[in-house]
Chain A
Amino acid sequence: MALHRRDILAGAAALTAAAITGNARAQVAAARSGGILTVAADTEPRNLNPAMVASNGVFYVASKVIEPLAEMIDGGDGLAPRLATRWEGSSDGRTVTFTLRDGVSWHDGKPFTSADVDFSAMRLWKPLQNLGRTVFKNLEAVDTPDARTAVFRFSVPTPFQLVRNALPGLASVVPKHLYDVGDIATNPANTRLVGTGPFRFAEHRPGEFYRLEKNPAYWEAGRPYLDQIIYRVLPDRGAIAAALEANQIQLAAFSAVPLADMERLAKVPGIAVIPQGYDGITYQLTVEINHRRKELADARVRRAIAHAIDRKFVVDTIFLGYAKPSNGPVPAFDKQFHRTDLPDSGFDRRRAEALLDEAGLPRGGNGMRFSVRLLPAPWFEQTRQFGDYLRQALRAVGIDAQIANNDPAAHLKAVYTDHAFDLAIGSLVYRNDPAISTTILYESGLPAGVPFSNQYGYASPAMDGLVRRAASAVDPAERTALYRDMQMLAATDLPLIHVAEFTFLTVARRSVMNVANNPRWATSHWADTWLSA
């Protein structure tokens, strides 16, 4: 198993390395313009506007049409210019100044200016966007001294580190002149996108496909290479694998192909399995715990559950090696914050049983100590499969788990509004800064009904204090230190249990070049993607 995995990784790494190093040469010699890239899409978001809905399903299509201020890259300081060419934060955390790119125009021909950035930030990101509502909540105004400069003014000190980390995902700019009229939520441009990106939105036939076509007036000369990108709607994973093999599509991102098929697909001539390109959107497989249940309010019981889980089995069998064991809230990819010295809750059934005995929960007549309702989230094949695994793992230490499968709406309501669960299995996304979507899992006092937040009934004054202080820590070193303390507390208190972190895989025909050359590749611009003959 491990051997195969390494082979695949090595092969894919070699391929991308070739693609990346080849890139410099490619620009002069090999890169070929033209061609239609057909890719698989498994959802059709109702609202495709990334300035309102920051989600991977939206970005997958929209990031080619609508651009953010900056994009994420490997190496350097992690960011590269897109619509902004420079960004600078003041030392008091009150202002951030952006210098915008010159000579950019919207797909309808109108020029892109700082007024568009002002409008997008104040009218969309801050009041309407699912994630921007948190990060930009203290954004007071955006000053536009000239058409190329936008100055963000915050009412309370806001860490520049946080603003920077939010740029690739939360700062997509939409045209003011189209959104200025009427209700933004029902604007037709939310589904027929108009942006500045390398591709123009051409057509959406619901249930069948999206079609994007080359923007001939793109600001980066000579790009994009592709004439068209077609997103073929294929809700079924088995069908996607089959379509790839039959060369009816050339690329499937976000592990849209069953993991179990990867090993076989990697051997199909002309197909490559590429694990890179998703570090910027790492998912965390977690056991969410309802602390209102008296047994689970005991930290020893939570620790016992952590010890009952064989993370190696989970990684090797459920993720077929395409994941890493995890024991804390910040994934290893984020070198800035991740801490490696967290206490390890390794697989140890005897220790788990001892802890449960210690907590006063002996095995009863039927061999079980107590029973729990286990709700695996329906988000991924792996969350469901981990549910099947966890049920067996818990039974082995005397906890009788009964699984209830729900569809997305029912799951969300049961866990985050009604708290009608004992254990749930979630796959939370880490969005490059603990303040964006991680601290919300630990702080107390949130109203019921906020999805993917601490609806677990966990309340710790120490934790709340750390979160609060970090939120307004302007000094990057201080802020980093606070988040490192927070990780330690999370790992000892175990309000929720991190099991594994995983990113996705891209499966593509080898004719598709420049795949996975940045950490958010599937949700980036694809201006430099091309098809070899």
Chain B
Amino acid sequence: MTRVLRLLALRGLSAIPTLLIVACGAFLLLEFAAGDAVDAYLAQTGGDAGFAAELRRSLGLGGTFAERLAGFLVSLATIDLGQSVVFARPVASVIAERLPNTLLLMASTTLFAAGFGLGLGMLAGRHPNSFADHGISTAALVLLAIPNFWLGLLLVVGLAVSWPLFPVAGIRSLIGTGGLVGALLDLLHHLVLPTLALGAGYIALYLRTLRAGMVEAWQSDHVRAARARGLSEASVLRRGVVRPALLPSLVVAGQNIGTLVGGSVVVETLFAIPGMGRLAFEAVTGRDTALLVGVVMSATLLVLVINLVVDLAMAWLDPRLGAVDG
């Protein structure tokens, strides 16, 4: 227990500099960008010089770099995410609205990819160098090489328009679909294509990791010993092979959270899902510093938290690992 607490404290402390670097990066990026939030806004409306000046004043964009930096540092110190210029609402509320959609997409993608990847990996790893193994490993390489945005487009053309099995875009139907079960089914229905587009590549990652782990585990001494003792194939598989082979898969899950968030930018744009990825894009286009800082910080925090969960899970699965220093 104390080890877990120590891990939590350590991670919490080391997260702070990371978050600071990320927040400052986002702030500086938009400071150096051509055009500010008022330019982004005027692009939609036009307006005379007085209008622009008035807007700049009311949005607090008027001062010098030093003044804006000071304002930014103060809000950072007081953990105040501030107001979004694009949405004219508190950043926190915008993020709270978008985050669940991205989490849903990430969760469904991970479940889908891990499910298929682990299943196929087990098949491939059981008999290394068999026909099935080669077939599955080749398929993995193909999946890894397909660009997710391209796959998404092909899926839309094929399965949403030519053959309208799935919705073209969005995360839920606009008109209520009757009760909790209906809403849940509706949500899953909308998630199918984005999940396929985003998840295909990750199937390959899980598959390869599990396959490698299985090959190693089958050859390990204690599995050989267990089989020699006449334990059934199934129980050997469960205890001696799958469990140790799952550990590296967990690592893969943790390592790929960052790229998953990145991939969701493209997929959310493609399927018009109002999530964090699209929000980051909107923040950059709108030169909305407060929003971009908020989005990037929460995305980073998300990655940190998931990595922490992965570490805890690993410590629990395999007590031999000294999770703290690992």
CB atoms of A452 and B174 under 8 A apart: no
A230 at the interface (CB under 8 A from B): yes
Inter-chain contacts of A14 with B (CB < 8 A): none
Inter-chain contacts of B286 with A (CB < 8 A): 409
CB atoms of B278 and A45 under 8 A apart: no
CB atoms of A409 and B170 under 8 A apart: no
CB atoms of A207 and B39 under 8 A apart: no
Q: Which of B34, B168, B175 contacts A246 (CB 8 A)?
A: B168
A484 to B285, CA, bound (A): 40
Q: Which of B41, B50, B269 contacts A236 (CB 8 A)?
A: B269
A450 at the interface (CB under 8 A from B): yes
Inter-chain contacts of A243 with B (CB < 8 A): 168-169
B43 at the interface (CB under 8 A from A): yes
A133 at the interface (CB under 8 A from B): yes
Interfacial residues of chain A within 114-147, with CB under 8 A of chain B in the complex: 128, 130-131, 133-134
> How would residues 211 to 232 of chain A score, 1 for a CB under 8 Å from any chain B CB and 0 otherwise?
0000000000000000000101
> How would residues 331 to 346 of chain A score, 1 for a CB under 8 Å from any chain B CB and 0 otherwise?
0000000000000000
Shortest Cβ gap from A494 to chain B (Å): 23
Q: Which of B41, B169, B174 contacts A242 (CB 8 A)?
A: B169
Contact A206/B88 with A414-B34, A451-B42 known, Cβ cut-off 8 Å: no
Highest count of chain A CB atoms <10 Å: which of B41, B49, B168, B285: B168
A43 at the interface (CB under 8 A from B): yes
CB atoms of A412 and B97 under 8 A apart: no
Contact A412/B35 with A43-B44, A239-B271 known, Cβ cut-off 8 Å: yes
B87 at the interface (CB under 8 A from A): yes
Contact A239/B169 with A130-B51, A206-B94 known, Cβ cut-off 8 Å: yes
The closest CB in chain B to the CB of A407 belongs to: B285
CB atoms of A46 and B34 under 8 A apart: no
Q: Which of B39, B41, B87 contacts A206 (CB 8 A)?
A: B87
CB atoms of A413 and B34 under 8 A apart: yes
CB atoms of B278 and A207 under 8 A apart: yes
A22 at the interface (CB under 8 A from B): no
CB atoms of B271 and A191 under 8 A apart: no
Q: 8 more A-B contacts (CB under 8 A) besides A207-B98, A236-B169? A: A47-B88, A55-B46, A208-B171, A230-B174, A234-B272, A242-B160, A408-B44, A409-B43
The chain A residues found within 8 Å of chain B, CB to CB, are 36, 38, 43, 45-47, 53-55, 57, 128, 130-131, 133-134, 185-186, 190-191, 206-209, 230, 232-236, 238-239, 242-243, 245-246, 248, 379, 406-414, 417-418, 437, 446-447, 449-453
Could you give 29 example pairs across A and B, Cβ below 8 Å? A36-B175, A38-B174, A46-B85, A47-B88, A54-B45, A130-B47, A185-B58, A207-B97, A207-B98, A208-B170, A208-B172, A230-B174, A232-B174, A235-B278, A239-B271, A246-B161, A246-B164, A246-B168, A407-B35, A408-B285, A409-B286, A410-B39, A412-B35, A413-B36, A414-B35, A449-B52, A450-B48, A451-B47, A451-B52
